[in-house]
Amino acid sequence: MAEPFFCSLKKERIRKRIYKTLDLARADAFDYIEVFYNRTRRHRHLGGVNPEAYESASL
């Protein structure tokens, strides 16, 4: 499960940028995970919807 996630992280975010500091890289990875990946990005295993929409529909 972790391997596809890290592949997505590298392909969609990390490889497209150059970071001046480690703190900037960490902040960008956090932003990708918490803002984009967990809230916006559609996931195939959730039926093509993002996690927030999936949780809202199942409540």
Residue-wise pLDDT for 22-34, tens only, equals 999 999 999 888 8
Mean pLDDT of the chain: 83
Rounded alpha-carbon distances, angstroms, from residue 16 to 6, 8, 47, 51, 57: 14, 12, 28, 24, 34
The model's confidence at residue 49, banded by pLDDT at 50, 70 and 90, is confident
Domain count for the chain: 1
DSSP 3-state of 49: strand
Residue 55 has pLDDT above 90, yes or no: no
Which range marks the domain in which residue 28 is found?
A: 2-58
pLDDT at residue 9 in the model: 85
Q: Give the integer Cα–Cα distance in Å for 3 and 53.
A: 24
